[in-house]
Amino acid sequence: MEHYHMNLSLKIWRQKNKTAKGGFETYTVKNISSEMSFLECIDVLNEQLITEGKEPIAFDHDCREGICGSCSMYINGKPHGPWKGTTVCQLHMRAFKDGDTVVVEPWRANSFPVIKDLMTDRSAFDRIIQAGGYISVNTGNAVDGNSIPVDKDNADKAFSAAACIQCGACVAACKNSSAMLFVGAKVSHLALLPQGNPERNTRALNMVAQMDKEGFGACTNIGACEAACPKEISITNIARLNKEYLGAGLAYDPNN
């Protein structure tokens, strides 16, 4: 693969805090390697800003290996940028060419308020997870992997759903800022496994109730969430969530 260098204009959203108005500022970065990651490019810009005595751009990052989900931002109008199935930290600068203008924004959803610049508060997802509660399994010594039989098809589907990294790209991509793919993945992961059975009804009801409380919108069924998901999680998980929720509603006894 050809290795080259480029000069770019980065049009980046700057916002001091949650209450500040915010706006775009344009910066020029030079001699950027095509093999750099997008976050490394912002690192270079921040070093430049610090040298100039200016405030660096605030952005979330942790693992830089496509695992943690914290590097959440729009790049040229697409959550996580132009590459399919890729987080921002795994996006490389060869996705752009010399002279390009790249527009960088935080997630745009009322349930994900901007903290500063490109950082958003995604703790609404944490509260949805907490609403799901616990699973009733014995703890202690490791259980033999074959002691609880699990259908291969269900195991594969559960594994795919569990790949969700809670980044919020599904919400950012949805015109209604729906969290249905995220909640669908989290509910499906446990609903498909025997360990998740004892609390499956309360889990579905409580997580959906918390999702609504956080102000996420209704599902549009247009599939933008699946297209933007860096782990390519299927919208069939939304159908499974609906099934779990309806079943839980029918089974729920408020007097029990």
Residue-level pLDDT at 255: 61
Residue-level pLDDT at 1: 67
Q: 252 pLDDT exceeds 70?
A: no
Q: 133 pLDDT exceeds 80?
A: yes
Residue-level pLDDT at 188: 96
Residue-level pLDDT at 140: 77
pLDDT digits (tens, 9 = 90+) for 81-115: 999 999 999 999 999 999 999 999 999 999 999 99
pLDDT digits (tens, 9 = 90+) for 196-244: 888 999 999 999 999 999 999 999 899 999 999 999 999 999 999 999 9
Q: Band of the pLDDT at 4, cuts 50, 70, 90?
A: very high
Q: Are 5-115 and 122-137+148-251 the same fold in CATH?
A: no
Residue-level pLDDT at 250: 87
Average pLDDT value over all residues in the chain: 94
Give the list of residues 6+ apart from residue 135 with CB closer than 8 angstroms, or none: 190, 195, 196, 198, 199
Residues of the chain with pLDDT > 90, as a percent, come to: 86
What DSSP letter does each residue of the chain carry, written as one string? ----EEEEEEEEEE-SSSSS--EEEEEEEEEEETTSBHHHHHHHHHHHHHHTT-PPPP---S-SSSSS-----EETTEET-SSTT--GGG-BGGGS-TT-EEEEE----TTS-EEETTEE--HHHHHHHHHT-------SSPPPTTSS---HHHHHHHHHHHT-----HHHHHSTT-B-HHHHHHHHHHHHTSGGGSTTHHHHHHHHHHHHHHTT-B----S-HHHHH-TT---THHHHHHHHHHHHHHHH--TT-
Q: Cα(84)–Cα(61) distance, rounded to whole angstroms?
A: 19
For domain 122-137+148-251, give the fold: Fumarate Reductase Iron-sulfur Protein; Chain B, domain 2 (1.10.1060)
For domain 5-115, give the fold: Ubiquitin-like (UB roll) (3.10.20)
- The arithmetic mean of pLDDT across residues 40-48, rounded, is 98
At residue 248, φ and ψ (nearest 5 deg) are -65, -40
**How do the domains of the chain map onto residue ranges?**
5-115, 122-137+148-251
Q: Band of the pLDDT at 2, cuts 50, 70, 90?
A: confident
Residue-level pLDDT at 127: 97
Q: 253 pLDDT exceeds 90?
A: no
Q: 256 pLDDT exceeds 60?
A: no
| Cβ pair 204, 248 in contact under 8 A | yes
- CA-based Rg of the chain, rounded to a whole angstrom? 21
